[in-house]
A and B are shown apart, each in its own frame.
Chain A
């Protein structure tokens, strides 16, 4: 069964029957040096840096996936109140972190 996620306190249409604690998932990504130089050159006129946008989205999706895996191992079928956090660790790398409350929900 697919893991349900939301960033509100419940899953609409379902009732929470049991809380299984905080599920977390994180990933650390560093950029490619070639991409970095190219991004710097592309940014002469300012605006979006597509390479970074894609890289960070990919990383965030992975963090979210790991969080769901953690919740799955706890026996949950949903994660509520999901939050994201981003921090810079060690030169040029970013840590993306997703966390939420793993819960068991039943319909109704």
Chain B
């Protein structure tokens, strides 16, 4: 059985351990982000490219466009709004680099990558959704970007740097 002194000691030790775990987690996560963030994002890009090629082979070109009139379809029997979205955020390392870059100004390359990914991905999702819902073509496609889920409190804006992309158009068949 524990005596009162032992219980106090255990409590103190466990508190110290929790403190160490929390203190070590953030630097470790940051290093992990630095080492594997780029690798993870390259993998995402590769998968996206493969999906784009798959759809291109399937429909023989592209099934979405920004014109307000159909290109390949002669007679339209049905139409409806089609929309899709994605929310992306930069890695901790990219966010850190972006923070440093914003002091000097100029092109923030670390953000370029994730923005390019988000936009390509949302357009690709629209293509896949159009195929899934059975639309032959999606016309008048629009892509919008917005910064959502901002944190305005305490003068610290958008802590996570999250961006939302929306793509929508009119599906026809």
Chain B residues whose C-beta falls within 8 Å of the C-beta of A84 in the assembled complex: 83, 144, 166, 168
Q: Closest Cβ of chain B: how far from A87's Cβ, in Å?
A: 7
- In the complex, what residue of chain A is closest to B79 when comparing beta carbons? A12
B4-12, B52-60, B87-95: which lies at the interface? B87-95
Q: Closest Cβ of chain A: how far from B26's Cβ, in Å?
A: 10
Q: Closest Cβ of chain B: how far from A5's Cβ, in Å?
A: 4
Chain A residues whose C-beta falls within 8 Å of the C-beta of B68 in the assembled complex: 8-9
Contact of B79 among A6, A43, A87 (CB under 8 A): A6
Q: How far is the CA of A91 from the CA of B150 in the complex (A)?
A: 6
Contact of B33 among A5, A45, A87 (CB under 8 A): A45
Q: How far is the CA of A87 from the CA of B132 in the complex (A)?
A: 30
Q: Find out whether the CB atom of B151 lies under 8 angstroms from the CB atom of A91.
A: yes
Q: Does B64 reach chain A (CB closer than 8 Å)?
A: no
Identify whether the interface residues of B are mostly helix, strand, loop, or mixed: mixed
Q: Given contacts A52-B87, A56-B164, is CB(A7)–CB(B140) below 8 Å? A: yes
Q: Find out whether the CB atom of B164 lies under 8 angstroms from the CB atom of A48.
A: no
Chain A residues whose C-beta falls within 8 Å of the C-beta of B150 in the assembled complex: 88, 91-92
Q: Find out whether the CB atom of B149 lies under 8 angstroms from the CB atom of A92.
A: yes
Q: Does B77 reach chain A (CB closer than 8 Å)?
A: yes
**Most interface-central of B83, B91, B140 (chain A CB within 10 A):** B83
Chain B residues whose C-beta falls within 8 Å of the C-beta of A56 in the assembled complex: 85, 87, 148, 164
Q: Closest Cβ of chain A: how far from B110's Cβ, in Å?
A: 9
Sample of 4 further A-B pairs with CB below 8 A, known A47-B89, A56-B87: A8-B170, A40-B160, A57-B85, A94-B149
Q: Which 9 A-B residue pairs are closest in the complex by CB-CB distance?
A: A46-B91, A12-B76, A52-B87, A86-B146, A45-B40, A5-B81, A94-B148, A6-B170, A88-B150
